[in-house]
Chain A
Amino acid sequence: MLQFLARRLALAVPTLILASMIIFALQQLLPGDTATALSGEERDPEVIAFIRDKYHLDRPLPVRYGYWAAGVLGGDLGESIRLQKSVSELVAEKLPVTLELACLAMLVALAIGVPMGILSAVRRGTWADTLANGVALWGLSIPNFWLGILMILLFSVQLGWLPASGYVPPSESLWENLKAMAMPAFVLGNAISAVMMRHTRAAMLGVLGSDYVRTARAKGVSPLRLVLRHALPNAAIPIITLGALEFGQLLSGAVLTEQIFSVPGFGKLMVDAVFNRDFATVQGVVICTAATYVGLNLAADVLAAAVNPKLRRA
């Protein structure tokens, strides 16, 4: 188990370092003088000089990366020139909002996708299977920003049940918070639920066709117990691992969802930063996303290992 963890960690670290290099290198894509470009709207020579100094722009690229990476490791993601705030501060402020949204969305995705996947695998080839697959394809194909708009049209404009936008921190009012998050979470979770349904179905089909499920049936095990006790735990490993990969999708989707529902999270921070040419913030958000994503995958592997008796004892 420890060895397995060490191996996974040994893979994750270089991945993150390389990802950070790519993100850092994005700066080079900026047209014209980097310092001027980084300063965004500002044309104040003092600011430009500050940036030139801050990013060591007079030094060669690898050295600049070194400074930057050292800063990132120390929690310094740079300064948002426009907002006059450190990027770390901004991220720390917005990240919890997005995490709440992502977790709620994942909950929605699991609550819809897993039972639907189990049902369609168990009832393979029947109308229930066809229906579940149809719903999944629908969910995969509907762009979530459009779904968001349609939901606003229905629930906010027509029915007036839910707020179209805005965010209430849970510390203020949990009920209002959930009301505001309901639509964004559903919209964000919708596409993932389709993916989870497909993963669950595939994993369950694999397990249901296995020899040990036949053994269980030969023992006279009831269908419900067959699915819940024999099949599902063994199907859980791929579901968990593949589900974690979907978190990336969730973070991507959050950018759009937050934009539609004006949820002041990570994604909104990024989009606003993009438009204000606040590149340090963009970089900061991207690197945090990558770190979150890699971390989640690592966590999923650990979880999967914990479920798998072969790895648990190793």
Chain B
Amino acid sequence: MAAEMGGAPLLEVRDLAVAFDTDGGAVHAVNGVSYALREGETLGIVGESGSGKSVHVLAMLGLIPRPPGRITGGQVLFQGRDLLSLPEKALRRVRGGEIGFVFQDPMSSLNPGMTVAAQIIEPLRIHLGLDRRAARARARELLDLVRIPNAAGRLDQYPHEFSGGQRQRVMIAVGIACRPKILIADEATTALDVTVQAEIVALVQDLKREIGMAIIWITHDLGVVAGISDTVQVMYAGRILERGPVDDIFADPRSAYTLGLLRSLPDLTRGRAGRGRLRQIEGAPPDMRVPPPGDPFAPRNAYATARCRSEMPPLVQAKGAAPGHLVAAWYDLPEILSDEAERAR
């Protein structure tokens, strides 16, 4: 995939699978996810709750609680090293150093008992080995960089003294502190007001230009993805159902699930999927303790065929779509849609 686009992949996920053990049996949260991320690429991963979009990135950096979490298979190559077989100590050097994180809820994701300075300084001292004074000076620069006014005066304040948007800026400062190769933003704007969301997205894009890092932007909001990503990847029930260049995904969706997501977007003005009524996807995600044998979306998919219900389709290049536009579907969505349009006429 990334190889097709030229350039060696920075991160390559191969057949990653994650399960959680519960009283009711193992929950298969991630089921064989494979993709690659180029240097400087922004990858938007979209999916609803339970799609495995967050779990799989947390799992690859050893951030899911184990037990009950368990990585049941796969490899994650970061600059050639398999993160999954890395000892915890070496993995710690990657986390926060080469791969930075921004989490969803800036209220609960910052330590309420530590000053903002202490929290920004931490990765600087751990990964860059800066002394206290240098780290503090750098922390001040970082607060400037994420555009917090009067940075010097706010270093010694506690998170509760910042507004929600400012807290997320602090989180971002922590995430980029060591100039990571990859910044993973896990629902980074979900908890924020719409206007603040836009500011944060703009900030991250500026920082990306400045630092030249790759970004994995995880969200359930296709709208945010459209504005920020180079590549979009749609996940459902622990699998990738569709993946491709952002414009192509929006203009020419090949998975019924992607189509459903696009149709549930209110003010989408581009692409043919945007036309028509606002629709909700009927039904609920499958019980992941007993994943369905075929396409996990088949039970909710009006276009599903018998084969969809019995056999999982592979993720392959979509016929007639832009190169790198992959889909996992037995049915041919454009064909079905044009038939539908025909009949409607």
Contact = CB atoms under 8 A, between A and B. Distances in A.
In the complex, are there CB atoms of A and B closer than 8 Å?
yes
Interface of A: 125, 209-212, 214-222, 229-230, 233-234, 307-310, 313
Contacts of B93: 220
Interface string B99-116: 011011100111111100
A108 B276 CA distance: 72
B103 A217 contact: no
Nearest to B127: A220
Q: Range of interface residues on chain B?
A: 20 to 34
B108 A309 contact: no
B12 interface: no
B169 to A, nearest CB: 14
Interface in B58-112: 61-63, 65, 67, 92-97, 100-101, 103-105, 108-112
A218 B113 contact: no
B102 to A, nearest CB: 9
4 smallest A-B Cβ distances: which pairs? A219-B96, A220-B96, A218-B101, A211-B108
B337 interface: no
A166 to B, nearest CB: 46
Contact of B103 (A125, A215, A220, A229): A215
25 contacts: A210-B108, A212-B108, A212-B110, A214-B63, A215-B101, A215-B103, A217-B62, A217-B63, A218-B63, A218-B95, A219-B126, A220-B97, A220-B127, A221-B92, A221-B96, A221-B126, A222-B126, A233-B114, A234-B111, A234-B112, A307-B113, A309-B112, A310-B112, A310-B158, A310-B160
A310 B161 CA distance: 9
A125 B66 CA distance: 10
A27 B154 CA distance: 60
Nearest to A217: B63
A83 to B, nearest CB: 51
A214 to B, nearest CB: 6
B122 A219 contact: yes
A210 B104 CA distance: 13
Contacts of A221: 92, 96, 122, 126
Interface in B99-152: 100-101, 103-105, 108-114, 122-123, 126-127
A308 B61 CA distance: 31
Nearest to A308: B113
Given A221-B126, A233-B114, 20 more contacts: A211-B103, A211-B108, A211-B109, A212-B108, A217-B95, A218-B63, A218-B96, A218-B101, A219-B101, A219-B123, A220-B95, A220-B97, A220-B127, A221-B96, A221-B122, A233-B113, A234-B113, A309-B160, A310-B112, A310-B158
Contacts of A233: 113-114
B244 to A, nearest CB: 29
Contact of A215 (B110, B158, B160, B161): B110
B45 interface: no
A216 B126 contact: no
A212 B112 contact: yes
Contacts of A214: 63, 103, 109
Contact of A309 (B95, B113, B171): B113
Contacts of A220: 92-97, 123, 126-127
B326 interface: no
Contacts of B61: 218
A211 to B, nearest CB: 4
Given A216-B111, A220-B123, A211 B105 contact: yes
A216 to B, nearest CB: 7
Contacts of A218: 61, 63, 95-96, 100-101, 103
B111 A230 contact: yes
Contacts of B105: 211
